[in-house]
Structure 1
């Protein structure tokens, strides 16, 4: 490194706007641009999951992979703030219709890992930082060390490995690609300070807590941010009525539109929303039980959008049948409907068993929907309890009873409309943009490069 400007290669299996399966794509689509805004030379490196339909900036490149010469192209495009994207396109592994779940995922992502390491040299662009994410890029941490023994090009580059969800370790049940990355990376980060502590425990360490304990001094937690341009209630064309914290009276139009479109009664009762994968991790089991008791008491309405385990999908459908006009369940995912739920709900449920970071609670607060959250992972770091001057209603124990108590407290608070509006304005004014996260990553990068002696 010859100046304060860092060269950062940010590698991810998915990244908006090119591909998206989960929250990793949102992080990979936003953090590189936030880092570029701080003056760094940033390249987002990701597979071309859909045919690019345009000529690549660098065609006919090749590397040796599994004993054969593998040809590919790198399609370069511009991102905000001067960041760039390199998408690898080879015609065999990428593009594919599925980001994950192919029979040859191991080969696909080993090829991607080798490309991460070798393409910068082919293009004569030497990074100071190689930031890799989750199992799909985990082998790069060892490769960088191995290559550096023989090739000066790779010396001085620091590897940062981010764990977005420790539960997903590899393409199948036989391979753990996260463990070696934890061992070999220069710095390990995860997506919230509380989750960084939780994964050191047997309960949430997924069997890797002892290894993580060995790297405790190199393990950092940095809360994700959200894209304030995409998630802006004052300009969002997907919602029924735009609004801001100074015009909360316009927000009610979003609630009325949501009630009408989903067949709910037009009511002034609080409307609780949830957008989630229907799995125990996301707390759907305790949600359906707790919500049913409040619907039966006539205390609120409920809207659910999500898909997942078949048994929970069926239980959710039965809830809607049991409470017509009070509960709406949409199985699947609809990005526009999700935005309308953020903008039209009064409460937003995040009762997760564990939650590395979570983006839903931050988006909800941006749109004036108050989180009902369990104190775990990133939820603990972003949702202080409103009963103590915070931003949402928090519970500790993972149980339907604890969630029901938090919901009841929120319903009671909702009855004081002036206090509720103050809470909404406070939540909408909280800063969950990428600026603070990018600043913390910059500090981590500089520390890692300094330790390399660059």
Structure 2
């Protein structure tokens, strides 16, 4: 089976979050299972890696010369679509709807030019929605994964219609139109034969007004048509492995974790109180405002080490704790430090308002760090109650209460060690999810494909 993933980022070449991590891990496992797998993403100016240019030419409707670069790694063919729109620093910008419309229009023509048209095109999040729509027009079977429904790629019609290269019949309430806007997330939803989200719980939640971001009607219809599925994300267990991690004192079980904790404590001059770690985007979605409001109580019993960047108000609020002896805040992305926090903390806080899947709790458990999580999305699916600590309300008090529960459990040394051992033996490898996706592609290939609107 020939599969081509289309996404805006892929680790280690481009990454801003969990989407890049998924695209850096899932395709390689699918290749090991026997599929012929590629990934197509933008050729950013700041791409980490030097692709070999394998094609250059013109694409109808796309301004300027188009080029394609290639890297082959782990049995996966990584293709990078070079467009003038992506020759600037960084990954994402305010004009991204127009930029990713150009990207989406270029996907099928360059795959045809490279003789690389797959059996199934698998788009990821709104940035790939237009590529899925063009695949539908050409009769190419498509799958589409929602990694975060909050971000939808909206722009006002009719201006945005001219960017897409799609026929006018597709801009209707049953198609890509959404309250007078083009909606590229909706393009993927309505044009793919099968749609997935990154956890079973999130697949249920997004069919409700609370989590559906205005698209709950579309998603409920997909559920009733058996076209919406929740497939839990896996974890790259080679990249995140305390037995081989060069960033931390290496350990294989709960008994060896103490050295990592001691190293983190020494790195930041922390006292003997237990360590609560946080590695997160600083965003309302992640509940970072709840964490900040809870800090006066948390710091009575915990050292709190936070790594992350994002919303300026949340960054400023954490900066305000800079002189507190039990609070460490490191702004921005720092992967080596992230490894040290995952390994060295005893507990790990994720007070998310919603969480499609989450990778941080998977990493934390692999390192024997017990999650304190809100009961939502993939956090429900992945954090067993005999391992971590869950709370229902999105409030600072509920977070603080769960941390008190964790502190009490920490006082029972044998019980805590048993929780840590269970956490470290949980299987969150990509093998199961990768097989599930390959089965889903079979359903995509066998699905009826009605003609797209013209």
Shared topology, TM-score over 0.5?
yes
What is the CA RMSD across the aligned residues, in angstroms?
A: 1.9
* Aligned partner of 1:237 among 246, 265, 288: 246
* Aligned partner of 2:110 among 104, 108, 119: 119
Q: Is the CA contact (8 Å cut-off) linking 1:18 and 1:48 kept in structure 2? A: no
- Residue 58 (structure 2) pairs with residue 62 (structure 1): yes
Q: Is the CA contact (8 Å cut-off) linking 1:88 and 1:94 kept in structure 2? A: no
* Aligned partner of 1:168 among 129, 132, 151: 151
Q: Which string of whole-angstrom CA distances, capped at 9 and with x for unpartnered residues, describes residues 397-429 of structure 1?
A: 111221122111111111111221111111011
Which whole-Å CA distance do the structure 1 matches of 2:195 and 2:411 have between them? Answer: 45
Q: Is the CA contact (8 Å cut-off) linking 2:145 and 2:198 kept in structure 1? A: yes
Shift of the alpha carbon at 1:452? 4.7
Closer, same or farther in 2 for the Cα pair 1:253/1:158, shift >3 Å? same
Name the counterpart of 1:404. Answer: 400
Secondary structure of 1:88's counterpart equals strand
Secondary structure of 1:448's counterpart equals helix
Name the counterpart of 2:291. Answer: 287
Which whole-Å CA distance do the structure 2 matches of 1:306 and 1:51 have between them? Answer: 21
- Bigger mean CA offset, 356-365 vs 274-283: 274-283
Q: Is the CA contact (8 Å cut-off) linking 1:263 and 1:328 kept in structure 2? A: no
Structure 1 spans left out of the alignment, 5+ residues: 1-5, 149-156
- Residue 16 (structure 2) pairs with residue 21 (structure 1): yes
Which whole-Å CA distance do the structure 1 matches of 2:68 and 2:130 have between them? Answer: 21
Name the counterpart of 2:198. Answer: 191
Secondary structure of 1:215's counterpart equals helix
* Aligned partner of 1:223 among 228, 232, 238: 232
Which whole-Å CA distance do the structure 2 matches of 1:333 and 1:126 have between them? Answer: 36
Q: Is the CA contact (8 Å cut-off) linking 1:281 and 1:353 kept in structure 2? A: yes
Name the counterpart of 1:147. Answer: 138
* Aligned partner of 1:309 among 308, 311, 314: 311
Closer, same or farther in 2 for the Cα pair 1:51/1:358, shift >3 Å? closer
Number of paired residues?
422
Structure 2 spans left out of the alignment, 5+ residues: 157-180, 450-454
Q: Which string of whole-angstrom CA distances, capped at 9 and with x for unpartnered residues, describes residues 24-47 of structure 1?
A: 101111111111111000011111
Name the counterpart of 2:88. Answer: 96
Report the TM-score, using the length of structure 2 for normalisation: 0.89
Name the counterpart of 2:270. Answer: 264
Name the counterpart of 1:253. Answer: 259
Which whole-Å CA distance do the structure 1 matches of 2:274 and 2:370 have between them? Answer: 11
Report the TM-score, using the length of structure 1 for normalisation: 0.89
Which whole-Å CA distance do the structure 2 matches of 1:130 and 1:434 have between them? Answer: 20
Which whole-Å CA distance do the structure 1 matches of 2:307 and 2:298 have between them? Answer: 19
Q: Is the CA contact (8 Å cut-off) linking 2:123 and 2:188 kept in structure 1? A: no
Which whole-Å CA distance do the structure 1 matches of 2:246 and 2:57 have between them? Answer: 42
